[in-house]
Amino acid sequence: MKAMQDKQGDSKNRATFWRRNLWSGILFGLGFVAFLDETLFHQLLHWHKFYDKSTVAVGLVSDGLFHAFSWFATVGGLYMVADLRRRGALWHKMWWGGKLLGGGVFQLYDGTIQHKIMRIHQIRYNVDILPYDLVWNISAAIMILVGIGLIMNAKRDQRQGKGAFSHA
């Protein structure tokens, strides 16, 4: 009986804090992709360059802003998760939807605007870059689509008051 009430309480809290769930996911997703980019491609593989001579000035500014923002997004997103948990309001489906959406949007921005238009740096040097760019940007698009799908699905669960929602 008590477990039942807790479940109902949880779904109420989730509904109240659905925006915080979504934003926490978006922020963490963005920060996480930026973090992977830094560790995998800059530090471990050494594919990306710290500074590429062809970078335009606005690219340096954009890179600086996104890099700074990603630190805040990662830490802030996780503290928001901790806050949602202590309120019994963490909604995994919504959070994962936000995470994939935020991560995908950042990766697509990085792969198109920052790499191609602002020419901050390329994914890898001295290779045919086209396959790399395609994999990078298509995987970003897939993350965005799956993310949006999960968010819409979570909202539908909530509207229908489905059992899946209270167990989600």
Partner 1 sequence: MHDAADNHAFFLFTDIFFGIPALLAIGFYIGAVLATNRRKRYRKWPWQRTIFFVTGVFLAASALIGPLSRQSHVDFTAHMAGHLLLGMLAPLLIALAAPMTLLLRTLNVNFARKVSRLMKSRSIRFFSHPIVASILNIGGLSLLYTTNLYTAMHENLLLHVIVHIHVFIAGYLFTISLVYIDPVFHRFSFPYRTSIFILALAGHGILSKFIYAYPPAGVLEEQARIGGMLMYYGGDAVDLILIIILFRHWYQSVRPRRDIAVRMG
Q: Least separation, in Å, of the C-beta of 148 and partner 1?
A: 26
By rule CB under 8 A, what string of x and - marks binding of each residue 2-21 to partner 1? ---xx--x--xx--x-----
Q: Least separation, in Å, of the C-beta of 68 and partner 1?
A: 4
Question: How far apart, in Å, are the Cα atoms of 144 and each of 44, 72, 96, 109, 126?
Answer: 26, 21, 11, 12, 30
Asked if 40 is part of the footprint of partner 1 (rule: CB under 8 A), the reply reads: no
Q: Which of 18, 69, 109, 132 binds partner 1 (CB under 8 A)?
A: 69
Q: Least separation, in Å, of the C-beta of 66 and partner 1?
A: 8
* Residue 65 host element (H or E): helix 57-86
Asked if 164 is part of the footprint of partner 1 (rule: CB under 8 A), the reply reads: no
10 Å CB burial of residue 103 (0-12, 13-18, 19+) is buried
By rule CB under 8 A, what string of x and - marks binding of each residue 49-68 to partner 1? -xx-x-x----xx-xxx-xx
In contact, 139 and 99? CB cutoff 8 Å: no
- Taking CB under 8 A as the criterion, which residues in 76-95 touch partner 1? 76, 79, 82-83, 86-88
Nearer to partner 1, 43 or 126 (CB): 43
* Cα diameter, the chain: 66
In contact, 80 and 23? CB cutoff 8 Å: yes
Q: Least separation, in Å, of the C-beta of 80 and partner 1?
A: 9
In which residue are the tokens 């790399």 written?
A: 132
10 Å CB burial of residue 54 (0-12, 13-18, 19+) is exposed
In contact, 95 and 24? CB cutoff 8 Å: yes
The residues of the shown chain that bind partner 1, judged by CB under 8 A, are 5-6, 9, 12-13, 16, 50-51, 53, 55, 60-61, 63-65, 67-69, 71-72, 75-76, 79, 82-83, 86-88
